[in-house]
Structure 1
Amino acid sequence: MPGSDATPAPPATRVVVGVTGTPGSRAALRRAADEARRRQAALWAVLAWQPPGGELHARRAPAIPLAGADWENLARTTLVTAVREVFPEGPGVPLRAVLARGTPGRALAESADREDDLLVIGAGHHGLLHRALRTSVSRYCVAHAVCPVLTVPPPPLEADLALAHRRNVWRLRLDTRHFARETGPPAG
């Protein structure tokens, strides 16, 4: 049979998911894999990254030429770690890990550029101040994606964890002076 030893074509449809390594993005990654299995689609895990200060700052002050490569390597490590933590045995569908340099909303909307794609993103709990100061990735994707967008709420414990972290940052100051007094100078 002609073409019988050719590799099978990848699935035509894709489920594209934003990955950041947070508990909310891990929940979105699990849900995206479930959707990919249900649709018999490929799973694209996308992590968007930018140099500190954004692209404009990186173009204006390229003082350290390797800094971009360092940030890209950190993004790659974050993506691989998140995928391995969520799928230690593999996702059960064809998987493509994608690093996209740019803002998260735009990178995700551009990655899911087919009408038959599904874009899955984590929708975190953010306060009014956070919403006022930062653009919402989920709102950007819903407004600009050409495909359906599925927003996945964060795990119930994520909000509790974030609240505990905020309380600890503001209320608990660690005074290390008593550690120095208790241990004393080294015995000579």
Structure 2
Amino acid sequence: MTRGRVVVGVSGSLGSLAALRAAVDEARGGGSPLLAVTAWEPPEGEALFARNPDSAWARHQEDLARAALERAVQEALGKMPSDVAARKLVVRGKAGPVLCALAGRPGDLLVIGARPGGWRGPVRRHVRRHAPGCVLTVPAPPRPRRTARALRHARAEDFALHG
């Protein structure tokens, strides 16, 4: 069996940051190239965008997605590893179909992050049904219990800049 690529979906969530770290480890361990992917769509949806297309708006949204990918790599790894053939890719489309299409070569491994609790998200559901090869699901690290409780009771004033 030929070794394929390690394709990882990166959204900036805690689960995707953990998935990015795991994907780097998988790529290192198998001598595989790494492809970090962020998928994006116009916030109003493709149907509404098609009614009133604006290329400047689309470029702006793509730039935001690219910046989010850069931020996620910075948060998860500091920088892309130099000991792995790594590439970052920003693709327009729904995340599930984009990731399944990119991880469609023989031997490819698709790595995605997950919130605690399984296959609830739309990307994970799509990947579960349509992934052509192996999928590694990496759980997000759990939040400390007190932090979650404090955030539930937080008010807007708690986040205001002071001083």
TM-score range, shorter chain: 0.7 to 0.9
Q: Which runs of 5+ in 1 are unaligned?
A: 1-10, 176-188
Secondary structure in structure 2 of the residue aligned to 1:115: coil
Q: Which deviations, in whole Å up to 9, do the C-alpha atoms of 1:117-159 show, x marking residues without a partner?
A: 0000001147xxxx5xxx5211211211111011111111288
Residues 1-20 of structure 1 mapped to structure 2, 5 A cutoff: 13-20=4-11
Contact 1:19 1:47 in 2 (8 A): yes
Residue 97 (str. 1) matches residue 97 (str. 2): no
Moved more, 22-31 or 86-95: 86-95
Contact 2:114 2:140 in 1 (8 A): yes
RMSD, matched Cα: 2.6
% identical equivalent positions: 45
Contact 2:96 2:123 in 1 (8 A): yes
User: Normalization by structure 2: what TM-score?
Assistant: 0.83
Offset at residue 16 of structure 1 (A): 0.3
Q: Which deviations, in whole Å up to 9, do the C-alpha atoms of 1:8-53 show, x marking residues without a partner?
A: xxx9520000001122111000001111111110110000000112
Offset at residue 174 of structure 1 (A): 3.5
Residue 117 (str. 1) matches residue 103 (str. 2): no
Contact 1:125 1:159 in 2 (8 A): no
Contact 1:14 1:43 in 2 (8 A): yes
Q: Which structure is richer in relative contact order (CA contacts within 8 A, separation 6 or more)?
A: 2
Offset at residue 87 of structure 1 (A): 2.4
Change (3 A) 1:123 1:159: farther
Residues 3-152 of structure 1 mapped to structure 2, 5 A cutoff: 13-62=4-53, 64-88=54-78, 90-91=80-81, 92-125=83-116, 131=120, 136-152=122-138
User: Normalization by structure 1: what TM-score?
Assistant: 0.73
Paired residue total: 156
Tell me the distance in 2 between the aligned counterparts of 1:90 and 1:33.
9
Report which of the two structures shows the higher radius of gyration computed on alpha carbons. 1
Moved more, 87-96 or 116-125: 87-96
